[in-house]
Structure formats: C-alpha cells, structure tokens
Structure 1
C-alpha cells in the first residue's frame, strides 16, 4: 500500500516538473533559454 502511495507522489511530482518545463518553453525568451542551456550542462 505504501509503495503505491509513493509511486503516486513520484508521478505527481514528475507531472508538475514536466508541466513547469512545458510552461517555460511555451512562454520562452532568450534569458530562459540561456538558463535551460546552463542547467543541461
């Protein structure tokens, strides 16, 4: 039961992170692109 609960939290966090990244790309500008490039390195 606890394992399922943890998996749900992980999926929720993953969806929030993916949603945030998608939001950044949709409302992107040069400064944000530079920050993303810096994070990838």
Structure 2
C-alpha cells in the first residue's frame, strides 16, 4: 500500500524554517532523528 492509503500524513516543505522528525526507509533499514531543513543547516 502507499503511504497515504496507510493513513500517513505527508506535508510538502515550504520556504522558511522547519524542525521535524524524519524517517528514511527502505526494505532493509530505517533511521529516525531530527534535522533542520533550511539552507543554513544542509
């Protein structure tokens, strides 16, 4: 099933600042942490 069909809420990045929990997943591994998604932090 897709993420949306599973009930996951997806928000698109808007210009500005965002401090969010993140999860990068594939079939073998997942990583969870925090990140600042702005040009000064990347």
Tell me, yes or no, whether TM beats 0.5. Answer: no
Larger Rg computed on CA atoms: 1
Q: What TM-score bracket applies, with the shorter chain setting the length?
A: under 0.3
TM-score (normalised: structure 1) = 0.23
Q: TM-score with structure 2 length normalisation?
A: 0.22
**Structure number with higher strand proportion:** 2
